Structure 1
Amino acid sequence: MKVLHIYAGNLFGGIETLLVTLAKAQGLCPQMQHHFGLCFEGSLSHQLQSLDAPLHLLGKVRISRPWTVWKARQQLHQLLRREKFDLAICHSCWPQAVFGSTVRANNLPLVFWCHDVLNGKHPLERLAKLVPPDLVIANSHYTQASVPKLYQTDSDTLYLPVASPNTGNRAAIRSTVRAELSTPDHAVVIVQASRLERWKGQSMLISALAQLRDIPGWICWIAGGVQRPHEAEYLQELEVQAQTLGISDRVLFLGQRTDVPYLLAAADIHCQPNTGAEPFGIAFIEALYAGLPVVTTAIGGAMEIVDDSCGRLVAANDIDALSKALGMLISNPDERASLASGGKARAEYLCHPERQINRLYHLLSQVVEQPTVA
């Protein structure tokens, strides 16, 4: 089965992590050959190229500039005629709106991979709605519940395949990373590694930690680089917040990192207290693989990932509850160790790559065998 994944490619987050995982895990399901059609070059295209994954650049698209859409559709049309794919997958509403009609015009089965919660009102969603797919794959049950706002198409939930990182000697990594970041070996490190989006809860984390300023021995690492102008503004606000609350010497802003698995291996607690609902949450799975107890808010996809065996859920926007949960884990190494011991099993149960990729093959096979939607 020859599959074309269509996406923008100008940022890097959960969708991009999925596409890189599919490229890396090609051997887990040899029946599927993954190709990638991107509009923009960047970190994603560079990683795919380094893996020798089949990459097709469709051209930069701005929906506000119709001629760029027309040119990219022509590029896709030529690619579909040349390569003879079995089906195409549009990851999110933007590529569905831009390229769904081209896939349809080539009589190719079309799959929409839903990575965000839909409301049916956003202009991109209204454009995407014009081209119904043959199947919708949702990254969580929470996301799947929103699909009827856009499509009446059959849908299914597939937790994203996430591989356990092979980081090597954890003790050596812990020592090396902490030395680089001037963090003592005995410090309890709370880490958050995510995009600099307000709803990811960095501000809430800083507020909660400020209540723990009298507890000695903790350090917070916040990783995530600026990708868009509003993120630069947010980062500046976070730095001012930490300074104002008197904990700027204990909150380190690490910027964009390419070594997140190593940061996780060197930390003690993972905390991403979302103030908006996470559709799924690859960051939580990665933290569980790293053996970190996960502390987050009880909203969205996180509730399908984190349970009492591996972490703690607190009420959304409840800074006091978050502070209490973090304080307990900072002060109680036995509790941290107990939750850490359940992390890897939980991550594998939900996201084991071989099982999830073969399940993807099963779902896509059903679409290929059926006639496409008119």
Structure 2
Amino acid sequence: MRKVVHILACGKSGGIETLIAEYAKKSSHNNYFVFVWEDGYYEQQIRECGCNTYFLDAGKTGSFKATQELIAIIKSVKPDVIVTHHGSPMIRVYVTLLSILFPRIPVLMYVHCDAKDDLSGSNGSARKVINITAAKSAKKIIAISNYVKKSIIANFKAKPEKIEVVYNGVDVSRFAERCLFVHDPVRLVFVGRLVKVKGVQIALEAIKICKENGYNLSFTIVGDGEYREQLEKTTKELAVDKNCSFVGTRRDVPQILANSDIFVHSCIWEEGFGIGIVEAMAAGKLCVCSNSGAIPEIITDGVDGFLAEKGNPKALSEVIMKAIDNREQWECIQSRAIMTAHKFDMEKFVEQLDEVVEEVANER
């Protein structure tokens, strides 16, 4: 058993936080979790499963004091490995700083998204220098997909042999409740953050096209975010508001998926992985998704789901209509989708991440 310090931006709701909270429950190592800016629901979940947590509150105390507290924690815990999560400049700086201050402790740099996204925003040139320096300083870099690995090589100038791919995990047992017959109207569903890059607006345009071609559909949109108001306005502008329902953030996602037919994920950015897609596949849903980022690493078009051209409502509508028209294929595709989802089971994720930690600890 190794002592491992994980550094995260916050403990509130988010994909990284959800993943790491599940890891905390199942990991064989002795894990300590440091939250730099905010605590929250997932910090509490991690603490309640018996792990030590620390909250630096950098937003109030300032980055200098927070860094001093972090250094004191490292000195006190004396970890075998440090793992940094999130791509904020401050946490990337920690990769380099801790590598210098504690040269005998390997520091791992986790990249949870397309690397070029970590360079976006203000001070892009400074972000690039920070990330390239961090990638050079880290003992190993963990990428959540082969697509993300390629983006790290291209954007952070990292050596390929330094990067380990560890696919995100999903607790597939949560989605064992399944309803594999087709409803009338056919029930489409999206689950995720309501931000522009998730491309729900593309799905709404596709539904309009399907409706104009005589297809009877409903679309349930699960989640919340800054783009929700605009999406609700768009449903009215496209005259599909009677077909669509916004249900907000829900805790009963497995049940919602079980009672749906087709999962639609029409993102317009390069998706680093796609946890929501794997969850839908675990529930035996027919998935129609953009062919962007790492999604083709999850879905094989026409085998365990369907891919459509990114950002193209017409192409998406054609795939949806084709899927509906070929219902005799559904059972086979759904069975394959369930099998694919098990490749990304949470147990496999935890085992692989634990192995990476053990490997770098042994190289000290």
Q: Report the TM-score, using the length of structure 2 for normalisation.
A: 0.87
Letter in 2 for 1:109: P
Aligned twin of 1:56:
54
Contact 1:59 1:71 in 2 (8 A): no
SS at match of 2:62: helix
Structure 2 residue 114 is matched with structure 1 residue 109: no
SS at match of 2:211: coil
Aligned twin of 1:162:
170
Aligned twin of 1:329:
323
CA pair 281-170 structure 1, distance change in 2 beyond 3 A: closer
CA pair 56-346 structure 1, distance change in 2 beyond 3 A: same
> Any stretches of 5+ residues in structure 2 without a counterpart?
none
Deviations 1:188-239 (A, max 9, x none): 211111112211110000000011225454211111122xxxx1xx211111
CA pair 23-312 structure 1, distance change in 2 beyond 3 A: same
Please give the residue correspondences for 1:1-374 in structure 2 after superposition, counting only pairs within 5 Å.
1-9=2-10, 11-26=12-27, 30=28, 32-39=29-36, 40-61=38-59, 68-94=62-88, 96-104=91-99, 105-107=101-103, 108-119=105-116, 121=119, 122=124, 123-131=126-134, 132-148=137-153, 149-153=155-159, 154-166=162-174, 170=178, 186-214=184-212, 215=214, 217-226=216-225, 231=226, 234-307=227-300, 308-349=302-343, 351-371=344-364
Letter in 2 for 1:106: F
CA pair 140-209 structure 1, distance change in 2 beyond 3 A: same
Point out the more displaced range, 17-26 or 4-13: 4-13
Equivalent-residue separation in structure 2 for 1:301 and 1:168 (angstroms): 25
After TM superposition, give the deviation of residue 100 of structure 1 in Å. Answer: 2.3
Deviations 1:246-281 (A, max 9, x none): 110111111122222222122111111111110111
Deviations 1:158-195 (A, max 9, x none): 11122213356546xx9xxxxxxxxx964421111111
Equivalent-residue separation in structure 1 for 2:128 and 2:45 (angstroms): 29
Contact 1:191 1:222 in 2 (8 A): yes
Contact 1:196 1:225 in 2 (8 A): yes
Equivalent-residue separation in structure 2 for 1:363 and 1:330 (angstroms): 43
SS at match of 2:251: coil
Contact 2:271 2:293 in 1 (8 A): yes
Equivalent-residue separation in structure 1 for 2:258 and 2:30 (angstroms): 32
Contact 2:221 2:246 in 1 (8 A): yes
Letter in 2 for 1:296: C
CA pair 155-322 structure 1, distance change in 2 beyond 3 A: same
Contact 1:73 1:102 in 2 (8 A): no
How large is the RMSD of aligned CA atoms in angstroms?
2.4
Equivalent-residue separation in structure 2 for 1:281 and 1:323 (angstroms): 21
Letter in 1 for 2:16: I
Contact 2:218 2:243 in 1 (8 A): yes
Letter in 2 for 1:48: I
After TM superposition, give the deviation of residue 296 of structure 1 in Å. Answer: 0.8
Equivalent-residue separation in structure 2 for 1:52 and 1:249 (angstroms): 47
Equivalent-residue separation in structure 2 for 1:279 and 1:304 (angstroms): 10
SS at match of 1:196: coil
After TM superposition, give the deviation of residue 315 of structure 1 in Å. Answer: 1.2
After TM superposition, give the deviation of residue 46 of structure 1 in Å. Answer: 3.3
After TM superposition, give the deviation of residue 36 of structure 1 in Å. Answer: 1.7
Q: Report the TM-score, using the length of structure 1 for normalisation.
A: 0.85
Contact 1:69 1:98 in 2 (8 A): no
Contact 1:268 1:292 in 2 (8 A): yes
Equivalent-residue separation in structure 2 for 1:112 and 1:84 (angstroms): 18
After TM superposition, give the deviation of residue 35 of structure 1 in Å. Answer: 2.3
After TM superposition, give the deviation of residue 11 of structure 1 in Å. Answer: 5.0
Letter in 2 for 1:20: A
Equivalent-residue separation in structure 2 for 1:115 and 1:169 (angstroms): 29
User: Which segments of structure 1 move beyond 6 Å, counting only runs of 4 or more?
Assistant: none
After TM superposition, give the deviation of residue 347 of structure 1 in Å. Answer: 1.4
After TM superposition, give the deviation of residue 244 of structure 1 in Å. Answer: 1.2
Contact 1:162 1:352 in 2 (8 A): yes
Equivalent-residue separation in structure 1 for 2:3 and 2:11 (angstroms): 24
Number of matched pairs: 345
